[in-house]
Structures are given as structure tokens and as C-alpha cells.
Amino acid sequence: MNTEILRIDRKNPDEEGIEKAGQIIKSGGLVAFPTETVYGLGGDALNPTSSRKIYEAKGRPSDNPLIVHIADFDDIKRIASLDDDEYTIEDVSKKAKKLADLFWPGPMTIILNKTDAVPYETTGGLDTVAIRMPSDEVARDFITAAGGYVAAPSANLSGRPSPTRASHVIEDLNDRIDMIIDGGDVDIGLESTIVDLTGDRPLILRPGAITALDLAQVLEDIDYDPGIISADSKEAPKAPGMKYRHYAPKGELTVVRGEDSKVTEYINECAERDKHNLIKVGIICSDEHVLRYKAPSVKCAGKLGDETMVAHRLYSILREFDEEDVEVIYSESFEGGNLGRAVMNRLLKAAGQKIIDIDKI
């Protein structure tokens, strides 16, 4: 299949091109598109064949549900059952509305009970559906042109870091999908916060740019899914996708946490040893620390404390290491800040939860 690339000038968007992209979705095809979080791989969310095609193009296990993207809050009614007369559901629908008022359009996904309009192919067999309204205007125009319901996971091959620019999508999915809308670099660079409203209490299934503190404005009893809290948690995460190795570079990644100078010393020792053994080493560090390291490939993720920049650069950096055939990667730890939690969640998943606590050894 020949993949068409549609370049969008954000100051002067190509309406005809977007209309064509929408038609591709309506006729059962697949289009990758930019959002403020990462690039998505879109298909018609209400068409089971389209969802099957998404899993096939990504090589994604079909029990890993897709997020349905909408462009208009009222469209939620067709896909989420908000009108059940049970008190708890009523309550949920009020919460969903309040969350949407505050954080949509934006990087937050809500899980609600699904209606029959949503095929099980889209929800990975679940009775619940994940819904998001992105703030990226190109994304919203495309969703509208596509009929209002676009199922979209991240537009990468399963297991690879999510794409934050069109060239990443081309690397993974060229010739496997009908079109890629190139809207330039994304804004945030990490996937949306997922909030599950279907249980006894609201839970964050995946941390993102909308933090627990943000959500607490609406959901006083918000908590994290125990399955994602700690590296050694025995509980399975509630978002089925979080159980898979994810966001992973080809090289073996280890995160090193602790007192600044000790972290540097430890990483340099490891890098020296690996170099001696002819292993290709890469290092991820804050901008301020770059001159401390001696490995051939040292990448700056952002200034100390600037987790927004680290989020923005992380997936690109992991892909660059792949291109350089780096075999072993050491990363400083990036905690704190609004996005710190999400950054560490992705970094640790990419590392297969391998973290060295330098102050404890």
C-alpha cells in the first residue's frame, strides 16, 4: 500500500486534504494524525473492520483497547451510556461532564460504560470505552471530517516508543496505512492521562499531563490504579495496555536514581566497563550534566526540573538510540514537577522497571 503524506501548514490548513483524510476513514481506511500528546493511528471507531486493521498495522495484541477520539462533547452520548437510571451511573455522568468542562479539549481520556454502537473490536472485548477530545485543531478538524468517532492508539509499531513527529510514523508504518497527516512536532510528547470512572472510585490508569492534583478539583477521591504505582507491584494494571512492555528502545535501559554526583560516578563506571567490553553505550541526562559524562552518545533531555521538556524529548531520544544501534542505555531519573510522574512512568516502562537506587547500595 502506498502511504500518502499530507503536510499541513498550521497557519493555512489544507481543508481539502483534511476532507480527503476524513473520507479515507469513512471508507474503512487508516490515517495517522497529530494530536497534542503523540501521533495517533486513526480508523472508524464504529466499524469493527477498521479497528481490526489498526491492530494489524501496529502488530498490537487485540486485547489492548483503543481510545475513541471525538471533536464535540455531545457526540459522547452515542458511545457512552450516561443515561442509566442507577444513581451511581448518574453520578458518573455528572463527573464526566465536569471533567470535560475543565480538561477537554485536552490530554485526558475518560473510561465510561460503552453503548452497543461501539464494537468490541474497538474496546478489546471490554464493556467500557475510552474517550478523548484532543485540543490539536488539525486533529479535531480531521475527526469531524471522519464522521466524529476516530479510534486511535499511538501510531507506532507495538512496543516501540510513541511517535512525536511524522517521521517517526513513517519509520514504523510507511506502506502499512493509507495516509499520514504531518502537522509537525507534537506539543506534549507523552500519552494522555487515563481516568476510569466505571469503578467504585475514580482511578488514574495512566499518568499524563493532567495530574492527580488537577483531577482532584472534580474528583476528591481520585487515586492511582495500584497496578501502576510501584515498579514491583504484583497487581495487574487496569488499563490492559499498561501490562505490555512499552515505549521501549532496542537497547537495554537502566534508570539510576539518587544523589547527583554519585549517579554520575556510577553511570560513568558502568559506561567505561561496557565500552571496554565493546558494548555501544548511550546516556540520557539533564542539560546541566552533559559535560560530566564520557560515553560516545550522551543525550540531553532538558534542564534540571524541566519535566515538560523531558516529556517533549523522551521518545525522540529513545528512537535516536535505536538508529545509532546503542545496546545499553543509562538514564538519570527525572522526578518532580507536574509531568514528572508521567515521565517516570514511561521511562520505567521503557526500562522494564530496571532502576538502581544509588543511595541504597
Binding site for ligand AMP (CB under 6 A): 64-65, 67, 111, 123, 126, 128-130, 153-154, 191, 194, 205, 238-242
The nearer residue to ligand AMP, 205 or 326, going by C-beta atoms, is 205
CA distance 323 to 221: 44
C-alpha cell, 231:
515498579
Residue 51 binding target from ligand AMP, Mg ion, none, CB below 5 to 8 Å by type? none
24 three-class SS: helix
CB of 346 to Mg ion, least distance (A): 10
The nearer residue to Mg ion, 128 or 154, going by C-beta atoms, is 154
The nearer residue to ligand AMP, 219 or 256, going by C-beta atoms, is 219
Residue 65 binding target from Mg ion, ligand AMP, none, CB below 5 to 8 Å by type? ligand AMP
CB of 20 to ligand AMP, least distance (A): 24
Quick one: CA dihedral 304, 306, 311, 316, positive or negative?
A: negative
**151 to 180, contacts with Mg ion by CB under 5 A?**
154
CA distance 142 to 19: 7
C-alpha cell, 56:
494489524
CA distances from 49 to 27, 30, 53, 66, 321 (A): 11, 11, 6, 13, 35
Residue with the CB atom nearest ligand AMP in the bound state: 241
CB of 73 to ligand AMP, least distance (A): 19
**107 to 146, contacts with Mg ion by CB under 5 A?**
none
**E strands, the chain, in order:** 4-7, 31-33, 40-44, 67-69, 108-113, 128-132, 150-151, 179-182, 193-196, 203-206, 223-224, 252-257, 281-285, 297-300, 328-332, 355-357
CA distance 226 to 238: 9
Q: Which of 93, 76, 75 is nearest to 84 (CA)?
A: 93
Residue 302 binding target from ligand AMP, Mg ion, none, CB below 5 to 8 Å by type? none
Taking CB under 5 A as the binding criterion, the range among 100-108, 148-156, 306-314, 332-340 that sits at the site for Mg ion is 148-156
CB of 123 to ligand AMP, least distance (A): 5
The nearer residue to Mg ion, 164 or 264, going by C-beta atoms, is 164
* Interaction site with Mg ion (CB under 5 A): 154
